[in-house]
Structure 1
Amino acid sequence: MKIALGPLQYYWPRVTVLEFYAAVRDWPVDIVYLGETVCSRRHELRLPDWVEIADMLAEAGKTPVLSTQVLLESGNDLNTLRKITDNERYGVEANDMGAVRLMQGRPFTAGPFLNIYSKPTLDVMAAQGATRWVMPLEMSRAGLAQLQQDRPTGLQTEVFAYGRMPLAFSARCFTARNRNFPKDNCQYVCMDHPDGLLLETKESQAFLTINGIQTQSALVYTLIHALGELRDLGVDVIRLSPQSAHMDRVVAAFRAVLDGRESADEAHRNLVPLMPAGPCNGYWHDRAGLDMVLDGQVVASPAPGARAPGVRARSAA
């Protein structure tokens, strides 16, 4: 199986982003998704900057893919989308149906936000030109097994295997609202939270993470124990989502398990201290998403009044 580095979900300073992808050149990843998928107000890097990063990574032997924005809100967003879909140098990850239409039958990756849950939808995407699809994050092992039996010939499968899960998008900016700023004058406060801003319930239970207009899981989804199952199911690519620290070690841990140089249990023990929050994998096992299941048993399920392990409590309005 190949390892893909998913698109950067957070708003980091320009220098931080450039340094991050300069380091990626030496990581054991095969595919790197690039571009702003969350909010067009994040202006530290523009499309030409992402293309320059793609050029650098391509020279290092990686396969860059330009990801499209999930929720388009303006004419400028549409212009950027057209530039991405019109490019002839790099592959495209389509994250909404407008991007699928603009690809006009040319090869693309069907992103996880297209909500592909059935064979007819998978057939439609393949007919539109999709050469790879990304499993929706809430899909279970059983659901994936069924679609793997039904997927069109030649269509690759990619699975989100690590990171805080992007669950929903809204026209409102929750991070700006937390600071009592209007969305159009947000002061770019997302940059203050390089791994998102934790949202807790009144009982101080870690509930969600807010990341601008995006809502994420509070916990970190990890399928490191399921890599053997994913291989048996014929999955072609696993996706690891960037975090602000220790991402090189996260990638190395998954590569070591895939190569048989380290056990999943050992890698998991080493990974937990590197996570910005506690681990979960409930969706894969057809359970509540915040559950952590090992050997068929729930070993961690945050109870009301308890904070997720490794999460620093923060207030949210």
Structure 2
Amino acid sequence: MTLKLALGPVLYFWPRDRMFEFYQEIANSPVDIVYLGEAVCSRRRELRLSDWFDIADLLVASGKEVVLSTQALLESKTDIGTLHRITENGRFMVEANDMGAVHCVAGKVPFVAGPHLNIFNPPTLEFMAETGAKRWVMPLEMSGESLKHMQQARPAGMETEVFAYGRMPLAFSARCFTARHRNLPKDDCRFTCMEFPDGLALKTKEGQHFLTLNGIQTQSALVYNLIHELGAMRELGVDVVRISPQSQQTDRIIALFRDVLDNKTSAQEAMRQMEPLMPDQPCNGYWHGKPGLDRMVA
């Protein structure tokens, strides 16, 4: 079974020119599926929906499958209007990241049930299948053993996707912690998060990297990396492996995952090459049923 590689939506706030440059690089990369759109904060307006469509056309022309991601936390009528334009786009599949998005597409078009829907048991997965989900993304906190049970009860025709690389998006808040760091109100944030292309590190009093602040989103400080688990995923019947973008070297991370999937290099060698490219140290605890910060050595 051949695992597909997916690139998740960019979770950070990058300048417009950098975004177009980034996706030109991705068009030439060996990734199969690309998720597009602003999934974190509606104040990030460097790209309009028409720009995302232009990028989507570029990626489709290079042979990629494109999925439009919705926001996980909607806070205004404007957000709801954007949600409707995305879910009614008529061209590309949608990744629903909250139940409002699920309601918009239920029974109308196939969709991807995103990681923020927190699908932790077979009845919930069955419900998503009945509403039209074609693919679901495993919650980040779920272990490989729990995934095994979910796979045994997976509805026919449902694909499974696993978040396998990147800082983990853990929580959302109505407050913007990056603006708060600059003593700015959320409504006058001055787009401070653009100063931190891979998020703002939050350390403990002892200096240990603990979390990453990304506007209204809280992420892990360490980088979730399941490069050693690709074989286990294949055995479990996983269909898609997701890589989350970082500001530098994303194309090389994709290439290393592809080389392991194609048996051109070992997971150990790929990890050796990958560690200098990562914004922080790797972790994989959740997959093994341990605290997320843990790193279980293969």
User: What TM-score, normalized to structure 1?
Assistant: 0.92
Which whole-Å CA distance do the structure 2 matches of 1:113 and 1:51 have between them? 24
Residue from 87, 90, 97 that aligns with 1:88: 90
State whether structure 2 residue 177 is matched by structure 1 residue 149.
Answer: no
Structure 1 residues without counterparts, runs of 5 or longer: 296-317
Q: Cα RMSD between the aligned structures?
A: 0.5
Q: Which amino acid in structure 1 is aligned with residue 9 of structure 2?
A: P
The structural deviation recorded for 1:206 is 0.9
Percent identical pairs in the alignment equals 64
Partner of 1:278: 281
Residue from 85, 102, 113 that aligns with 1:110: 113
Deviations 1:205-238 (A, max 9, x none): 1110000000000000000000000000000000
Q: Which amino acid in structure 2 is aligned with residue 27 of structure 1?
A: S
State whether structure 2 residue 286 is matched by structure 1 residue 292.
Answer: no
Which whole-Å CA distance do the structure 2 matches of 1:272 and 1:209 have between them? 18
Structure 2 residues without counterparts, runs of 5 or longer: none
Residue from 109, 126, 129 that aligns with 1:126: 129
Which whole-Å CA distance do the structure 2 matches of 1:87 and 1:127 have between them? 22
The structural deviation recorded for 1:291 is 0.8
Q: Which amino acid in structure 2 is aligned with residue 174 of structure 1?
A: F
Partner of 1:189: 192
Which whole-Å CA distance do the structure 1 matches of 2:235 and 2:92 have between them? 30
Partner of 1:201: 204
Which whole-Å CA distance do the structure 1 matches of 2:236 and 2:122 have between them? 16
| Mapping for residues 158-177 of structure 1, pairs under 5 Å | 158-177=161-180
SS of corresponding position for 2:296: strand
Deviations 1:56-103 (A, max 9, x none): 111111011000011000111000000011111101000000000000
User: What TM-score, normalized to structure 2?
Assistant: 0.98
SS of corresponding position for 2:74: coil
Which whole-Å CA distance do the structure 2 matches of 1:221 and 1:114 have between them? 19
Q: Which amino acid in structure 2 is aligned with residue 28 of structure 1?
A: P
Which whole-Å CA distance do the structure 2 matches of 1:234 and 1:168 have between them? 28
The structural deviation recorded for 1:26 is 0.7
The structural deviation recorded for 1:104 is 2.8
| Mapping for residues 24-39 of structure 1, pairs under 5 Å | 24-39=26-41
Residue from 51, 63, 66 that aligns with 1:64: 66
Moved segments of 4+, more than 3 Å: none
Which whole-Å CA distance do the structure 1 matches of 2:187 and 2:205 have between them? 29
Residue from 234, 238, 252 that aligns with 1:231: 234
Residue from 25, 49, 52 that aligns with 2:51: 49
Alignment length (residue pairs): 295
